[in-house]
Chain A
Amino acid sequence: MAINKVVAGAQEATTGIEDGMTLMLGGFGLCGIPENCIAEMVKMNVTGITCISNNAGVDDFGLGLLLQKKQIKKMVSSYVGENDEFERQMLSGELEVDLIPQGSLAERCRAGGAGIPAFFTPAGYGTEIAEGKEVREFNGKPHILESALTADFAIVKAWKGDTAGNLVFKATARNFNPMMAMAGKITIAEVEELVEEGELDPNTIHTPGIFVQRIFQGTGYEKRIEQRTVRQKG
């Protein structure tokens, strides 16, 4: 029998998240975000948090809900458009923002979970991102040193999960979730469908259960579409 990671719901899953902590939250835009845990943190009113997340949600959804209540002290992201309240807080100096190239952000999370303290990347060389960072040439090309990221809690959203914490993501809702799951001291996974151990095919698991400490089946997923683009038939 596998180690059981199941908790009752978002409330139990988020126990121990305290003011001033650093959190990682999976998702790309509003795609693959942990909706239940975000709602729970709004309720808990945890403040002064640092959020490592590719984006910052929109005004009234995703991390925008935490921004509205001024619960976030600092955002670590690659792109933060589409959010007026974010802009207001950033320009007024209430919110700190650390912008990181998207590939470096993904790799820094992966490195954090994989025990690699730092790595060299060409991304950002010669730009303001490189300021104060070590530069070294490899194969005749300059690279900058980027450090690993970890978090007190990583909060991810998966399509299916089992009681052992194994996760399967759906389509592009995968995005940053697998790397962040690796990089949390405690990783919380909320899933659309929670199944018994043995029900997921081990060959198709994206995130092995070792990276997940708490798992629960979420409810009422809204799955908002940010840019609904369609074509007409015929």
Chain B
Amino acid sequence: MALDKVGIAKRIAQELRDGWYVNLGIGIPTLVANFVPQDITVEFQSENGILGMGPFPFDGEEDADLINAGKQTVTLMPGASIFDSATSFAMIRGQHVQLTVLGAMEVSQDGDIANWKIPGRMVKGMGGAMDLVASAENIIVAMMHTNKKGESKLLPSCSLPLTGVGCVTRIITNLAALEIKNGAFHLLERAPGVSVEEIKAATAGELVVPENVPEMKID
């Protein structure tokens, strides 16, 4: 069966490594924080100025002065720090943050990403996404494999305005885990119960399929 949003978050959490600073985008990426493996330590960075972001506050303990980049009330972990927006993006641009996880509308087989603008619709802005994707060494995209119309979001080239070029290294979808290299999507794992044929059918870009494609292990 294809993964749900929580399943995608659980699979992405398996990509975390001990000692990493991680920036999580809005939506599915935010859920990743709930599934950090017990035996490792990571710190979450929020681009509005937090390192060491904690979970949502208990009811009644929320503080209007303490929010994340999605403007949600949050808490601080022991050892957290607070800084201004220029310092925050110095951390990001300066590649001090090891992993960025964000959502996307489209990803191309060259690693281009489109996630901020649909022509003809109200444009809300790119927020920090362009800075994040232009700088991170390690970018995981968390998204559904197809859009609401059932069309593939993994394309030969993006049709929507780009957020960044040649930057995505890994994609975790409801159907598969994939790596982008040498101008193609490389299938790494199948979601539980999903066949290689289903993944091929849902992938419009070039897909490289190894002989053996293991099934994801999701708790």
Question: Could you tell me which A residues sit within 8 Å of B by CB distance?
Answer: 28-32, 54, 77-81, 87, 90-91, 97, 99, 101-107, 109-110, 121-129, 159, 170-179, 206, 223-233
Known: A32-B65, A90-B122, A125-B165. A106 touches B134 (CB 8 A): no
A231 with B55: CB separation less than 8 A = yes
| Chain B residues in 8 Å Cβ range of A224 | 64
Task: Please measure, in the bound complex, the distance between the C-alpha atom of A151 and the C-alpha atom of B55, giving whole angstroms.
Answer: 37
| Chain B residues in 8 Å Cβ range of A129 | 126, 130
**B88 shortest CB reach to chain A, Å:** 7
A177 with B84: CB separation less than 8 A = yes
Within the complex, which residue of A90, A122, A179, A225 is in contact with B62, where a contact is CB–CB below 8 Å? Answer: A225
Task: Please measure, in the bound complex, the distance between the C-alpha atom of A124 and the C-alpha atom of B129, giving whole angstroms.
Answer: 9
**B64 shortest CB reach to chain A, Å:** 4
A179 with B85: CB separation less than 8 A = yes
Question: Could you tell me which B residues sit within 8 Å of A by CB distance?
Answer: 46-50, 55-74, 76, 82-86, 88-89, 92-93, 112, 122-131, 134-135, 161-166
Within the complex, which residue of B55, B65, B112, B163 is in contact with A172, where a contact is CB–CB below 8 Å? Answer: B65
> Please, could you name 24 A-B residue pairs with CB atoms under 8 Å apart, sorted by A?
A28-B69, A28-B85, A31-B48, A31-B65, A79-B125, A81-B124, A99-B123, A99-B126, A101-B130, A103-B47, A103-B89, A106-B86, A122-B135, A125-B134, A126-B112, A159-B65, A171-B76, A172-B68, A174-B49, A229-B73, A230-B58, A230-B59, A230-B61, A230-B73
Known: A28-B48, A102-B85. A80 touches B56 (CB 8 A): no
User: Which secondary structure characterizes the binding site on chain B?
Assistant: loop
**A90 shortest CB reach to chain B, Å:** 7
Task: Please measure, in the bound complex, the distance between the C-alpha atom of A225 and the C-alpha atom of B48, giving whole angstroms.
Answer: 15
Task: Please measure, in the bound complex, the distance between the C-alpha atom of A229 and the C-alpha atom of B71, giving whole angstroms.
Answer: 9
| Chain A residues in 8 Å Cβ range of B165 | 125-127
A106 with B88: CB separation less than 8 A = yes
B67 with A172: CB separation less than 8 A = yes
B84 with A127: CB separation less than 8 A = no
Within the complex, which residue of A97, A127, A177, A227 is in contact with B71, where a contact is CB–CB below 8 Å? Answer: A227
Known: A77-B125, A230-B62. A174 touches B73 (CB 8 A): no
Known: A107-B89, A128-B161, A228-B73. A101 touches B82 (CB 8 A): no
| Chain A residues in 8 Å Cβ range of B112 | 126
**B89 shortest CB reach to chain A, Å:** 3
Within the complex, which residue of A54, A77, A226 is in contact with B67, where a contact is CB–CB below 8 Å? Answer: A226
A106 with B65: CB separation less than 8 A = no
Known: A175-B85, A229-B56. A79 touches B163 (CB 8 A): no
Within the complex, which residue of B46, B84, B124 is in contact with A79, where a contact is CB–CB below 8 Å? Answer: B124
B73 with A110: CB separation less than 8 A = no
**B62 shortest CB reach to chain A, Å:** 6
| Chain A residues in 8 Å Cβ range of B93 | 103, 121-123
What are the 7 A-B residue pairs with the smallest beta carbon separation, nearest first?
A103-B89, A103-B131, A126-B165, A81-B124, A106-B85, A101-B130, A223-B64
| Chain A residues in 8 Å Cβ range of B46 | 172
A233 with B49: CB separation less than 8 A = no
**A59 shortest CB reach to chain B, Å:** 14
